[in-house]
Amino acid sequence: MTPPNPFETGNLLEVAGLRVTLGAGTVLRGVDLAIRPGEAVGLVGESGSGKSMTARAIGRLLPRGARSEGTITFDGSDVNALDTKGLRGYRGQVAMVFQDPRAHVNPVRKIGDFMTEALRTNAGVKKAEAHERAADMLGQVGLDSKLLARYPHELSGGMLQRVMIATALLTRPRLLLADEPTTALDVTTQAEVMAILAELRRDFGLALLFITHDLELAAAVCDRTAVMYAGQVVEVRDSALLHTDPLHPYTAALGAARPDIGRSQARLQAIPGRPLSGFEAPDTACAFAPRCAHAAPGCETELPMLTELDGGQSRCLRAAQLRGTLGATTDA
Amino acid sequence: MTALTFTRARSFIRTPGRLGKAGTASAVVIALAVLAALFGPWLAPDNPELPDLQIAWVGPVGGHPLGFDFQGRDVLSRLLAGAQSSMLGPLVVVALAMAGGAAFALIAAWRRGATDAFISSGMDVLFAFPGILLAVLATTVFGAGLTAAAVALSVAYLPYVARVLRAGALRERSQPYVQALEVQGASVWRICLGHILPNMSRMIVAQATVLFGYAMVDLAAISFLGLGVQPPAPNWGVMISENQPGIMQGYPLPALSAALCVVAVVIAVNVLGERLLEREEVR
Amino acid sequence: MLVGSLLVASFVIFGALFLAPGSAIAALSGGRALPAASVAILNQRYHLNDPFFTQYWYWLDGAVHGNLGISITLRENVSTLIGNRIWTTAGLVLYASLIICVAGIALGVLAGLRPGWLDTSTLVTTAVTAAIPSFVASIVLITVFAVKLGWFPALATGTGGGFLSNLRTFTLPAVALALSSLAIVARVTRAAIREEADREHVQTAISRGIPARQVIQRHILRNAAIPITTVSAITVASLIAVSAVVETAFSMNGLGAYLVQAAQSKDLAVVQGISLVLVTAFVVVNLIADLLYAVLDPRVKLGARAS
């Protein structure tokens, strides 16, 4: 874990009360998040929980017709209030890596063109120098600089993803938003890419928002992890404590549902019901209550707020009561 | 076996779905055209074939809303009478092209390998012949007339139909039910005609509709050129050509009304075809 | 592969007309009875008693060397007759292609990039125009612009006169030829632009702060160019045959109109010659389309264009 840079106090990125509506439905119903410089924060949730939409909101890449409320602050400035020039600068500081590399790289342009485009356009770097930097960065992710002259369809998925990561780092960003960067890859390649990400983070002092549906993966890579459900952040916790001392029943259920190789189980513990998306969640009750093993009558009538608890946060009305009882050592 | 095919066909007819305003309007136009084609000669108020040069080019008069053409024949009657050949020609073209195209597509999809490659190359060669050119060649050899033109057009459309249907046939061919039927000992004919083809029926109908539009345009063009239906037989394409001099003399109505008939039906067919294709894609 | 196509096509052209009823002698003589000596000479000169393939070979060999035989009706070299008329047709097709590509693509791009009134009106007009066949467009244009308004001549005979005068003469026919194809190209262009703008790689470019104009040029337009070029090429190829209709409607002295006349008067050599020229042009345009496709899309090998 990188200690925070003593010259930078305060959070690098702050998301407060983020709500996003798309058409008639609400996709994000309340996201609160903070990332310190150089910190790695995981964002975990099932499909429909709104984790990708959160990343897009931070990157100002929301689809046409989406409206957002709440604030997103980067280094003290309001991200949504940035003008064109400011936005361009912001995009240089906050880079995104996407889930499906093959769909996200223009198939008719060479890799070299793809990698150096932003440098040449925004930073005015000359072509030769830009290519040199790109070649250098390719080396850092373990790829040959000869790939600069190739086309995307000539590379494997894993290689393309490494190219995406290398490209993202060319502008020396301070925050990397990684939206399920390894989900589309096979397990071995996953491990390689994760290792590269971790190494680069150390070398460049990058902050990282790592989005995934895999709780264990996030906990392994990130200092802190946030868990999302139905368009809201329901828990934020130090990764080390996530499994042993979670603060929200949903996190506990997620952890318990994963089969443990070291233990023999009679049957898999699935969470009953199906995950709710932001569209379907009620505004006057806890969204997880119908599936929660610890639900009390009050949970169906009151909307829980994100409250601080023991260095983390939890959106559960009974969080204080359930403290210490949700860990992996107790069977739900 | 027959019961199965019948049910499938019935469910197809019973689910026209929402065609939308444009779709229903198009269906109405087409229905009117079909009615005209079937009953035109009887519906015509006046004799469509008897010339009377004294009233040539006379404008709309009571009982003759579209006036008279260059030979003094009532335009409305002639349009109604002409509906038959104007609609029948494309129908024949579509029927022949779909039948031939389906046959080639099924053979190519079933046999695959060398047969498929051979048929596909053959189709590619045929692609080099635009419809109108083939019609010109055919009429040179066999003399001008609707038959030669219609057959030539069907041949010209064959490769297009074959290519589209081949894709669908290949898809069906690789479905598990085909293997199941083969294992049961069903003959190739039975599988192709009784199962694969009916399963492609939506696609076939959609393509046929679009093709009808093309055929109508091409046939009317060929008749316009004087190579299709021969005057004095009534036909919309012929009417446009024979009444064209009237435009220059200030009597555009006969030629334009025939043109309007062609365009109206073609638009209607295109809209309907597009709707059907959309639904096919959604599936 | 395309050369093979051409060869087979030429075979079909020759073979089909070989089957035409009526003896070649009768056609050549115009129906008169000829003395035996003349018949013998004709047989020898035109290889009329040779087997089918020999005749085919003579014809093909002649064609490649620019000799396409003699027209029966006009008693001139077919090649000369074609040469006289080819520029009319070529000019018409080129003019129409220009209209289609410039106006069609421009309209499609604008409609695709900006939602709003331009987009809706484009959709509506193209839906109607796409269904208007060229011969209908011809007579409507003649009625409105030539007869009523008098802006353009109604008949496009003769190509004498200066360039501007020719331009004016050819405008109505070119528009008539281009109209429905223009609509199709505009629609396909619009759809391609829309689809490309929604692609993920465009998101990537935006997320890296690349300015909107460059995103449009280097990512949306560049990628949409693939389907746009394909459909434009196919459309231009189709113009070659349809030009016959427009030429007839405007009484133009082009290859297409002449082909129709020759077909009606059973002037076989002319029909064969012009058919060969038209099919060759068609094949060449398709070849160019294939080349362009392979150049624009690095994922594709030559000859792999899916129509």
Instruction: Split chain B (283 residues) into runs of 10 and give each run's mean pLDDT.
Output: 41 50 83 86 79 79 80 85 89 93 88 86 82 86 85 91 87 85 84 84 85 89 88 87 84 87 88 75 56
Per-residue pLDDT, C22? 58
Per-residue pLDDT, A4? 47
Per-residue pLDDT, C26? 59
Arithmetic mean of pLDDT, C202-209? 91
Instruction: List the single residue in C134, C249, C282 with the smallest CB-CB distance to B128.
Output: C282
C241, B133 Cβ separation under 8 angstroms: yes
B224-238, C28-42, C57-71, C176-190, range with greatest mean pLDDT: C176-190
Instruction: Kindly identify which residue of chain A lies nearest to residue C219, measuring between CA atoms.
Output: A106
Q: Is the pLDDT of residue A138 over 80?
A: yes
Arithmetic mean of pLDDT, C269-278? 85
Distances (CA, A) of A216 to A162, A224, B28: 22, 12, 62
Partner-chain contact B133 C249, CB within 8 Å? no
Average the pLDDT over each of A39-53, A131-145, C140-154 and give the range with the smallest value: C140-154
Per-residue pLDDT, C306? 46
Per-residue pLDDT, B5? 41
Per-residue pLDDT, A188? 85
Q: Is the pLDDT of residue C29 over 70?
A: no
Average the pLDDT over each of A34-43, A69-78, B5-14, B213-222 and give the range with the smallest value: B5-14
Distances (CA, A) of C89 to C64, C86, C264: 21, 5, 20
Q: Average pLDDT of chain A?
A: 85
Per-residue pLDDT, B232? 82
Distance (Å) from the C-alpha of residue A136 to the closest C-alpha of chain C? Answer: 19
**Which backbone phi and psi does C136 adopt, to 5 degrees?**
-70, -45
pLDDT digits (tens, 9 = 90+) for C215-268: 999 999 999 998 899 889 888 988 988 899 999 888 888 888 889 888 888 787
Partner-chain contact C200 A100, CB within 8 Å? yes
Per-residue pLDDT, C302? 64
Partner-chain contact C201 A95, CB within 8 Å? no
Arithmetic mean of pLDDT, A181-197? 85
Partner-chain contact C218 A117, CB within 8 Å? yes
| Look-up of token digits 């925050």 | A175
A332, A253 Cβ separation under 8 angstroms: yes
Strands A40-44 and A207-212: parallel
Partner-chain contact C201 A106, CB within 8 Å? yes
Q: Is the pLDDT of residue A104 over 90?
A: yes
Give the chains touching B; criterion: ≥3 Cβ pairs < 8 Å: C
Instruction: List the single residue in C143, C262, C279 with the smallest CB-CB distance to B247.
Output: C143
Residue C205 confidence class, pLDDT cut points 50, 70, 90: very high
ipTM greater than cut 0.85: no
Partner-chain contact B128 C9, CB within 8 Å? yes
C44, C50 Cβ separation under 8 angstroms: no
Per-residue pLDDT, A114? 93
Per-residue pLDDT, A152? 94
Instruction: Give the DSSP letter of residue C220.
Output: I
**In the structure, do chain B and chain C come into contact, i.e. share 3 or more CB pairs under 8 Å?**
yes
Partner-chain contact C245 B221, CB within 8 Å? yes
Per-residue pLDDT, B14? 38
Q: Which amino acid is at A236?
A: V
**Which backbone phi and psi does A171 adopt, to 5 degrees?**
-90, 15
Q: Which residue would you say has higher pLDDT here, C169 or A264? A: C169
Arithmetic mean of pLDDT, A22-39? 88
Q: Is the pLDDT of residue C64 over 50?
A: yes
Arithmetic mean of pLDDT, C203-207? 92
Per-residue pLDDT, C23? 58
List the structure tokens of C265: 């008067």
* Substitution target from B127, B133, B151 for chain C, most C beta carbons within 10 A: B133
Per-residue pLDDT, A304? 84
Average the pLDDT over each of A120-134, A232-246, C18-32 and give the range with the smallest value: C18-32
Residues A128-147 as b/e (b if ≥16 CB within 10 A, e otherwise) read eebbebbbebbebbebebeb
pLDDT digits (tens, 9 = 90+) for C87-119: 889 999 999 999 999 999 999 999 988 888 888
Give the chains touching C; criterion: ≥3 Cβ pairs < 8 Å: A, B
Per-residue pLDDT, B200? 85
Q: Is the pLDDT of residue C52 over 80?
A: no
Per-residue pLDDT, B19? 64
Give the chains touching A; criterion: ≥3 Cβ pairs < 8 Å: C
How large a percentage of chain C has pLDDT more than 90? 19
How large a percentage of chain C has pLDDT more than 70? 88
Per-residue pLDDT, A57? 92
Helix ranges (H only) for A170-318 are 187-204, 215-221, 239-242, 249-257
Instruction: List the single residue in A87, A106, A117 with the smallest CB-CB distance to C223.
Output: A106
Helix ranges (H only) for A38-100 are 51-58, 84-93
Per-residue pLDDT, A96? 93
What are the residues whose beta carbons fall under 8 Å from the beta carbon of B89, sequence distance 6 or more?
A: B146, B149, B150, B215, B216, B219, B228, B229
Partner-chain contact C136 B140, CB within 8 Å? no
Contacts of B252 in chain C (CB under 8 A): 139, 143, 147
Residues of B (134-173) whose Cβ lies below 8 Å from C: 136-141, 144, 163
Structure-derived torsion over alpha carbons of residues B211, B216, B219, B222, reported in degrees to the nearest 10: -120
Per-residue pLDDT, A261? 73
Partner-chain contact C248 B217, CB within 8 Å? no
Length of chain B: 283
**Which backbone phi and psi does B62 adopt, to 5 degrees?**
-50, 130
User: pTM for this structure?
Assistant: 0.80
